[in-house]
Structure 1
């Protein structure tokens, strides 16, 4: 299986002279190869949609392919970036790739080290929290983490994660870098203002012979020693998007889904359209994990190619097709993005996750995952797209 070099820092937190909650001590307690499920590496970007905008299949497919095209991913061995190409590209493209990989590595460390077992319904972006939990997080100024990994057994709790991606070489120092410590201090300040919310940070570097990830596992002072948080430190850097609607439960009735789609479409069409100037609905840098909201996913489904007649999952056609991850150079990686008309039942998705975790899948050249109505498959060692029966077999349908 592809891997990344993982260093785990065990950290304690305390207080500086100003009474701010900051990093105290940190030491490396573990270093090892972390297995990488490539579809899950793409999960955050696969689920992301620009706020208040429609989502088109070819655009989403191209985004995922762009990330993969800047990586070299062997069947067994270290995932690496095409560093020369990454440094030669435009800054905004480099930032998109490094941010996407950083988010993916944060998700990978949550599954690998913190044993997070959530799915797409339990992953949220702090820029666009659904209304069922947004009230639990006070609107505040200053820095906040990137992602919220909700506990599937208690959806009002979870861990906040900060993802940092860099094009530099992985650090060798046994102590946190100055930049790492500074960012941790900012995130720990946010944590204190949120009643000491659990936090972690994954710092990903793409500039070496292999991708390296520093994970910070943080222990807070005991409750009796915790201090009240200082006021918010700085004015907002950008407008805060209004609350997003709660993600609906798994639909069981297609007529209910259609009605909800039409309702969201009317609400969407009533919003002010995007313009060249900044406005209340223009958040260029912000992306919500809302592709499974009805309007976004329906438009993705409607714009996806129908595929051939063999593309069947759970007795339903799968729209979508394969592309080669060769936008930058020659590649043996093939990517499939599929869209389903309906979300599979939760029991089926749980069975698929259990199947994926089996040991015999560790060296499989084809990796597949299902995120709600999305299917992401990656073939790691082929110049040609594999037949659908190979995907169906791995989804337990063969």
Structure 2
């Protein structure tokens, strides 16, 4: 057993080998608000949704949200300078958040963003339909969601489509579908390339399981339609791939990193190119990431590095394999931090991570001083451990 007591008290967390660690609670940090966007980087946080604890949010049931807590969390992100990437995989798209809930979420969130003079982008995909027979049907399904998102005033994020991955015969089908959509959009969009670590059903996206070949197809599309593309959001968890891709993008097309394992170095840049950000991790570490990005605005790279450093072990733990269950960690941290009244999720997804994983998550958030009320967080962790039968 390891012991690191402080005057705030401590909490015992379990380890996978049956041992325990006594974790001393750290003083919370008074993070400075940053209610305006950052100057040097565009930064979106992909936000989760809060389930209504009294509704039947069981696997397969329609999503029912706690709207007050869901929208309040977005206000929290706005206060720290972030735009919101709405109705993305962090919000459980394809994992419980159905199309009627998506529509209400995007509409409410877009209205709130206007009230706060904040930036918002929202996912448009094909998840409102079942199996489709052709690329043309996928294109039509995409177009329906694009029209809805545009109608709310949110920027469009063209999400990766499971249905397109299932029916596409090769790169030409991707180019045809996306090319037609890009010719029709009102304003420049964000293209989303979500890797199979986040969704195994997207294996071989852009028409090839070979990432280099898929990248060439992707780049060809971007170069042809650069005037219709604000940026590309890439979530392949490969820093080398991202640095190569961003250097090859046409001028004016941003690369929004989705790499929750390497984002500090990618956002910092290499002196020639840098990544902007559209990250689920930023929903978990918003105050610290805001402090880092504010330092970057001031040209203070040492402070940027120091502020980002404690967030990375936390993010890597949240997104550890199986990566697609990272949403559970995001919701758990929001609950520990007092941003929502309970730890329930759409589709019952709160059961997707073990108590050992959640205990370690608490430990890392405590180390990063990201728990506004450590005693409350420790109490809530203990409730979960007690419910699971973990001995005191």
Bigger helix fraction? 2
TM-score, with length taken from structure 1? 0.28
The higher relative CO (CA closer than 8 Å, separation ≥ 6) is in: 1
Bigger strand fraction? 1
TM-score, with length taken from structure 2? 0.28
